[in-house]
Amino acid sequence: MSHYLAPAKLTWFLEVGNKRADGWHELQSEMVTLSLADELEIEEEGDYVLLSGETAGVEAGGNNLVSRALRLVDRKAGVSLIKNIPTGGGLGGGSADAGAVLRWAGGVSAHEALTLGSDVPFCQVGGRALVEGVGERVTPLEFIERSVTLALFDFGVSTSEVYRVFDELTAAREPRDPRNHLARAAQIVEPRVKTAIAWLTAEFGEEVVLAGSGATLFVEGHLRHDQDQWEVDSPVGRVRLRQVQTTPAGE
């Protein structure tokens, strides 16, 4: 039985290009992994995927990313997966799980990993990297330890809808948020994101950044010294605040 961590992915910044003929978007992003992670117990003699923890929204059966990653490497295994990364929050939970399975199997090329999703090539490597192309070009960068506070919500944002609105805004030549090009589109698709950004900014006085396509928000630094997790009421419901660190590759 082997134990693997599947660290959450955070887009420190995200620049998105115009839509290509094949439907993909070119991107340039600095991505980092976090101490928030799913946990996998992998038994080589098994043939199952068992889910527990934050499983809301996770596909069951053979379509989840763990099962697809096993098929990609043509391996069978028994995988017990404890989900700690919220689904649909822009933190790459499913991609992180697939990346952990690929590491267990010895790794695949970035182009093979890309068949599972645009975040999987980075999640297979982890640490801190410049990610370009449609996610397949991963250039490791020197590790920088950073403290981050995540704001986690009980709602997600549809990535496909965010990109659809992003394309509409691009066609209308609307300005882009310099830190995350998808931020304006996400606030249109899910107005609670806009409300949450305004509330967090007023509450903590820090720059609030959208993680990926949302709905998770983050600020650099830790906001409290007495605890790493707490919940508060907000105009968009209960918010879970969690203080984490960036992690090097291989952790």
- pLDDT at res. 84: 93
First to last CA, the chain: 18
The model's confidence at residue 73, banded by pLDDT at 50, 70 and 90, is very high
Does the reported pTM lie above 0.95?
no
Q: What is the mean pLDDT of residues 2-27?
A: 93
Is 9 a known active-site residue?
Answer: yes
Output the CA–CA distances (angstroms, integers) from residue 204 to 34, 89, 196, in the order listed.
Answer: 22, 21, 12
Chain-wide mean pLDDT for the chain? 93
Query: Domain 147-247 carries which CATH code?
Result: 3.30.70.890
CATH fold group of domain 2-140: Ribosomal Protein S5; domain 2 (3.30.230)
The model's confidence at residue 250, banded by pLDDT at 50, 70 and 90, is confident
The label of the residue with tokens 């991505």 reads 31
Domain range annotation of the chain: 2-140, 147-247
77-108 tens-digit pLDDT: 999 999 999 887 889 989 999 999 999 999 99
Element (H, E) at 73: none
187-220 tens-digit pLDDT: 999 999 999 999 999 998 889 999 999 899 999 9
Catalytic choice (38, 83, 97, 119): 119
Is 38 a known active-site residue?
Answer: no
Catalytic choice (9, 38, 83, 97): 9
Q: How far apart are CA 240 and CA 220, in angstroms?
A: 16
Q: At what angle do helices 65-72 and 93-104 cross, to 10 degrees?
A: 30
**Structure-token pair, residue 32:** 């980092």
- pLDDT at res. 206: 85
Nearest 5°: the CA angle 217, 219, 222 is 125
